[in-house]
């Protein structure tokens, strides 16, 4: 990284580790037997976490992208075994042509499998498939003392539960074995509905959960009054073999040219951008066949899109609130965001299902989840996010650590009641900027 600065994907906060290394093999990973350094370490994937859960200011970062080898793949069963630095994009390149797909995917394919496991990522199919951890068969966990644990639901199950969603703090994941999902081709059947209120959103979600594998909505975070909660609902299934189209092949993504001197997402541009997008189609409903790339990964279509938020970057905020509080809480959150003239064009609303995660510290749980990007306006933005926290905490919800850069220790402990039990599994040789912050220790890792 330039000048040894490792930023989050939101470009806030910046982080300067004391050192960073990229091992070329599992045997080169540092342990107490091979490295006498006193610096606390942290595995670093592909840098797509938005906050500081993947950063280690003042400590040592272990860049895991050098461990990107496929170990085994069975095209008859879809069982994949690989090193942790393999990207979801790498998996898709290998598997889609052979009739397999990643079982759970976030909104970008440029996430490592080690990072997907450590954050127990979720996707548009949570209501049926649950989290990424639900599809992990086993993995190897290397502790800083050199101890290696083979972890599954039946073997070292306590380490399995602590590591799935454990933010990379229980040790180095050195091997992952997952079960892929069978598909018949690379295309999706996508059904898109415009909705005018949160009532309509929740009705569409309930009506779609049994018949559509993937559901997600864009919501206009700048709308107020009678327009509050309007947006577009997108539901989809993998297209059957008889409906497959010709795959156009690899796509070239343009690159965002440079970092502008100020955020292009601001109080002047936000409302017209959202209004234009809401009125982009005259019809309230339309269907189309769509390649999986733009459906799952629309933002990957522009490389380095995060530069659009300017030199100060942005903070992403994703929360989940329980089903009984969902409509009232999401309404209040959107009202506060719109009143502040904050938020962004990238606003996502979805309903989580009730399939439990195997992880002690996993974020997804039944309810509604809202995710937005906020241009970094300093104390003004932090004050607004504290206000949103108060709504989420009152509802008994939680905020996603992989997208957080500022939650308080008190909020963290309420959101994740298993934190004390989890702490027993944290490797004494590992730490992160996030972990020190939510433990009330803002110092460096040395």
What's the mean pLDDT in 202-230? 96
What confidence tier does 446 reach under pLDDT thresholds 50, 70, 90? Answer: very low
Same domain for 334 and 208: yes
How high is the mean pLDDT of the chain?
94
Query: Is residue 255 predicted with pLDDT exceeding 70?
Result: yes
SS3 86: coil
8 Å CB contact between 49 and 403: yes
State the pLDDT at residue 4.
73
User: Mind giving me the DSSP string for 404-433?
Assistant: -S---HHHHHHH-TTHHHHHTTS-TTB--H
Burial of 33 (C-beta count, 10 Å sphere; 0-12/13-18/19+): exposed
Convert the pLDDT of each residue in 267-303 to its tens digit.
Answer: 788 888 888 888 888 889 999 999 999 999 999 999 9
Same domain for 371 and 266: yes
Same domain for 225 and 170: no
Same domain for 126 and 264: no
Say which DSSP state 17 is in.
-
Convert the pLDDT of each residue in 167-186 to its tens digit.
Answer: 999 999 999 999 999 999 99
Same domain for 239 and 161: no
1 occurs within a structural domain: no
204 occurs within a structural domain: yes
- Number of domains the chain is built from: 2
Same domain for 359 and 213: yes
Report residue 278 CA to chain centroid gap: 25
What domain range is 175 assigned to? 67-182
Report residue 346 CA to chain centroid gap: 14
Report residue 261 CA to chain centroid gap: 27
Q: What is the model's pTM?
A: 0.95
Same domain for 228 and 201: yes
Residue with tokens 């996603």: 400
Same domain for 239 and 366: yes
Sign of torsion over alpha carbons 162, 165, 168, 172: positive
Same domain for 359 and 242: yes
- Among 138, 199, 136, 188, which residue's Cα sits nearest to residue 327? 199
Lowest mean pLDDT among 157-161, 338-342, 349-353: 338-342
24 backbone dihedrals φ, ψ, rounded to 5°: -95, -10
Instruction: Decide which of 389, 405, 421 is a domain's last residue.
Output: 405
Same domain for 215 and 193: yes
Burial of 415 (C-beta count, 10 Å sphere; 0-12/13-18/19+): buried
Same domain for 333 and 229: yes
Measured from the Cβ of residue 251, the count of other Cβ atoms closer than 10 Å reads 10
35 occurs within a structural domain: no
How far is residue 434's CA from residue 431's CA, in Å, rounded to a whole number? Answer: 8
Instruction: Decide which of 133, 149, 182 is a domain's last residue.
Output: 182
Convert the pLDDT of each residue in 296-338 to its tens digit.
Answer: 999 999 999 999 999 999 999 999 999 999 999 999 999 999 9
What confidence tier does 1 reach under pLDDT thresholds 50, 70, 90? Answer: low
């Amino acid at each position: 990284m330039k000048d040894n600065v490792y930023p989050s994907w939101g470009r806030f906060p910046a982080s300067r580790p004391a050192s960073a290394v990229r091992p070329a093999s599992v045997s080169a990973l540092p342990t107490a037997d091979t490295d006498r350094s006193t610096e606390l370490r942290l595995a670093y994937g592909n840098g797509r976490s938005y906050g500081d859960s993947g950063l280690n200011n003042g400590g040592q970062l272990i860049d895991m992208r050098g461990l990107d080898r496929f170990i085994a793949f069975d095209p008859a069963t879809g069982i994949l075994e690989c090193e942790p630095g393999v990207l979801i994009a790498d998996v898709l390149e290998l598997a889609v042509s052979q009739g397999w797909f990643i079982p759970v995917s976030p909104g970008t394919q440029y996430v490592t499998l080690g990072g997907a496991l450590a954050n127990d990522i979720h996707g548009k199919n949570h209501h049926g498939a649950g989290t990424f951890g639900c599809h992990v068969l086993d993995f190897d966990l290397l502790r800083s003392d050199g101890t290696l644990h083979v972890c599954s639901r039946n073997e070292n199950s306590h380490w399995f539960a602590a590591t799935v969603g454990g933010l990379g703090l229980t040790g180095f994941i050195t091997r992952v074995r997952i079960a892929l999902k069978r598909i018949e081709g690379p295309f999706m059947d996508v059904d898109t509905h415009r909705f005018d209120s949160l009532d309509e959103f929740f009705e569409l979600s309930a009506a779609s959960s049994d018949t559509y594998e993937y559901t997600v909505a864009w919501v206009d975070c700048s709308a107020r009054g009678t327009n509050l909660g309007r947006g577009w609902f997108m539901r989809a299934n993998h297209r059957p073999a008889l409906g497959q189209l010709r795959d156009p092949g690899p796509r070239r993504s343009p690159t965002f040219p440079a970092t502008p001197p100020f955020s292009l997402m601001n109080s002047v541009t936000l409302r017209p951008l959202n209004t234009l997008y809401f009125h982009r189609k005259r019809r309230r409903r339309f269907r189309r066949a769509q390649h999986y790339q733009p459906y799952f990964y629309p933002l990957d279509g522009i490389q380095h899109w995060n530069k659009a938020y300017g030199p100060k970057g942005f903070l992403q905020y994703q929360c989940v609130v329980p089903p009984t509080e969902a409509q009232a809480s999401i309404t209040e959150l959107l009202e506060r965001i719109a009143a502040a003239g904050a938020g962004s064009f990238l606003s996502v609303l979805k309903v989580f299902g009730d399939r439990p995660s195997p992880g002690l510290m996993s974020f997804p749980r039944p309810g509604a989840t809202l995710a937005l990007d906020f241009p970094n306006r300093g104390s003004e933005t932090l004050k607004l996010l504290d206000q949103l926290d108060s709504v989420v905490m009152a509802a008994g919800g939680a905020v996603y650590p992989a997208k957080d850069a500022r939650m308080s220790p008190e909020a963290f402990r309420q959101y994740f009641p298993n934190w004390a039990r989890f702490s027993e599994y944290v490797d004494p040789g590992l730490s992160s900027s996030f972990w020190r912050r939510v433990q009330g220790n803002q110092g460096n890792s040395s």
